Amino acid sequence: MTESGADTPRGHGRTSAQKKPRPFWKELPLLIVIALVLALIIKTFLVQAFSIPSGSMQNTLQVSDRVLVDKLTPWFGSKPSRGEVIVFKDPDRWLENEPTPTPNILQKGLSFIGLMPSADEKDLIKRVIGVGGDTVECNGTGPLKVNGKPLDEPYVFQGNTPCSVDEGGQFKVKVPKDKLWVMGDHRQASADSRYHQTDRNQGFVPVDNVIGRAFVIAWPPNRWSTLSVPDTFHQSGLNAAASATAPAALGLVGAFPLVLWRRRRLSAERTDG
């Protein structure tokens, strides 16, 4: 006589012992924590969103635009180039008279995960005109010149002149090493390097103050576009100041073997004599 359970396959009844999947609501807190940690890492080392507070970069950037800023490349020693739009820390009380808004809870949360800048951050956004070694000058209403080359600036706000005929608007400066000369695209509404020449940094922005390069307008959707370097900054001869030293350096290198050969020849002649 066969026992009633003899034909039962092994493993029958294990189904009830298998673990049931955890409800989604129990995993949700962990997912939120992971998302916040990732957002914090991205904000700190990779990309951060910034809101445009003023019209100093019109019409390239409008008030309340959101731009994404590349914070990664500076970690690898990359320095800003002419024509780039950069976000940088206030170098010397440029925003001293600007009021600091009081953020609400939502703004604080968005700031924490990088979707908005902190309300107490003193950051500015301008276009790089000159880098270390460049000579930048403005005479009359323009054009603006870098290393003697006039810039074609279609991005300048309509109705503005490239150079301003006012105190600070007329200048000729030599940009020191590891410093930048920056200007807003809305030339007549931008308190940039031109108007801080009496400050401690003489209007120059230290490269170490740069947070990153703004590379795209991310919000609102109808304003989405990349922020590329204008063609005028790629014109030939703009690096004249840097390239002018190259022939001299090459000449010095080329002359060294000749001097060495001549010294050896004279030494040999003295020995023979």
Q: What is the pLDDT along the chain (273 residues), one digit of tens a residue?
A: 444 444 544 544 554 456 667 776 777 777 777 776 666 666 555 788 888 989 999 999 999 999 999 988 776 778 999 999 999 999 988 987 766 666 667 666 666 655 555 555 679 999 999 999 999 999 999 999 999 999 999 999 999 999 998 888 999 999 999 999 999 999 999 999 999 999 999 999 999 999 999 999 999 999 999 999 999 999 998 885 444 333 433 344 444 444 444 555 555 555 555
DSSP codes, 28-63:
HHHHHHHHHHHHHHIIIIIEEEEE--SSTTTTTS-T
Q: What is the pLDDT of residue 220?
A: 94
Q: Which of 43, 71, 111, 126 is catalytic?
A: 126
Q: What is the pLDDT of residue 258?
A: 44
Count of residues making up the chain:
273
Q: Establish whether 56 is a catalytic residue.
A: yes
Q: Establish whether 267 is a catalytic residue.
A: no
Residue 70 CB contacts under 8 Å (≥ 6 apart), including other chains: 46, 47, 212, 213, 214, 215
Q: What is the pLDDT of residue 237?
A: 87
Give the CA distances from residue 159 to residues 35, 186, 209, 211, in Å, rounded to whole numbers and listed in that order. Answer: 46, 9, 31, 31
* Start-end of H helices in the chain: 24-41, 105-112, 240-243, 245-272
Q: What is the pLDDT of residue 97?
A: 72
Q: Pull the structure tokens for residue 209.
A: 């103050």
DSSP codes, 196-222:
GTTSTTTT-EEGGGEEEEEEEEEESGG
Q: What is the pLDDT of residue 2?
A: 45
**Which is it for the CA torsion 156, 162, 166, 172, positive or negative?**
positive
Q: What is the pLDDT of residue 33?
A: 72
10 Å CB burial of residue 191 (0-12, 13-18, 19+) is: middle
Domains of the chain, with CATH numbers?
47-99+123-244 (2.10.109.10)
- For the question of whether the overall pTM of this predicted structure is more than 0.95, the answer is no
Q: Using omega within 30 degrees of 0 as the cis cutoff, is the peptide bond preceding 147 cis?
A: no
Residue 197 CB contacts under 8 Å (≥ 6 apart), including other chains: 168, 171, 173, 203
Q: Which of 43, 56, 71, 111 is catalytic?
A: 56
